[in-house]
Amino acid sequence: MEDKELQQLVEKISNDSFQKPFKHKAVFNARLQTTGGRYLLGSHNIEINRKYLEQIGINEVISIIKHELCHYHLHLEGKGYQHKDADFKLLLNQVGGARYCSTLPNRPTRKIRKTIFYMCEQCGTQYRRKKVINTSKYVCGKCRGKLIKVKELTVD
């Protein structure tokens, strides 16, 4: 599916489900990582994550489009368009849009988190850091004593 076909699909869904025209642009955005789509407040355009079409299918994309069109139409009408607003929740329920999109099956695994523990040689104060620090450059914040690395934990 190309951007032109996506534009036609969004216009059709807008007319069929909302009985209102979609007068702006709908495009695929390959940079979206953690969301199925987004409505841009400034330009009123809608961007859709192509991965949802490729990995889950057209029904998921239609649900995402309905969700974004709820933001679009409510914002243009001056009503509550945010997720927390009652207007948004009501309209989303009426048109059958998804509150949340499905998780992509081929989504990369989480980053490995590292925690490093340091301790002051003089006063025994312990410090927990996510990044390695240069112990010859940094000293204890309480007594200015020398810091030593105690242990390092790695969590998946």
Question: How high is the pLDDT of residue 50?
Answer: 93
Question: How high is the pLDDT of residue 113?
Answer: 82
Question: How high is the pLDDT of residue 109?
Answer: 63
Question: How high is the pLDDT of residue 101?
Answer: 86
How many Cβ atoms sit within 10 Å of the Cβ of residue 62? Answer: 19
In tens, the pLDDT along 109-149 reads 667 788 999 999 999 999 999 999 999 999 999 999 999 99
In the chain, the percentage of residues whose pLDDT exceeds 70 is 97
In the chain, the percentage of residues whose pLDDT exceeds 90 is 80
Question: How high is the pLDDT of residue 27?
Answer: 96
Catalytic option among 47, 68, 77, 121: 68
Please report which confidence band the pLDDT of residue 95 belongs to, taking 50, 70 and 90 as the band edges.
very high
Question: How high is the pLDDT of residue 108?
Answer: 64
- Cβ atoms of residues 78 and 72 within 8 Å: no
Mean pLDDT of 61-86: 95
Please report which confidence band the pLDDT of residue 97 belongs to, taking 50, 70 and 90 as the band edges.
confident
Angle (CA) 108 109 111, round 5°: 115
Mean pLDDT of 67-92: 95
Residue 38 three-state SS? strand
47 is catalytic: no
- Cβ atoms of residues 146 and 139 within 8 Å: yes
Question: How high is the pLDDT of residue 80?
Answer: 94
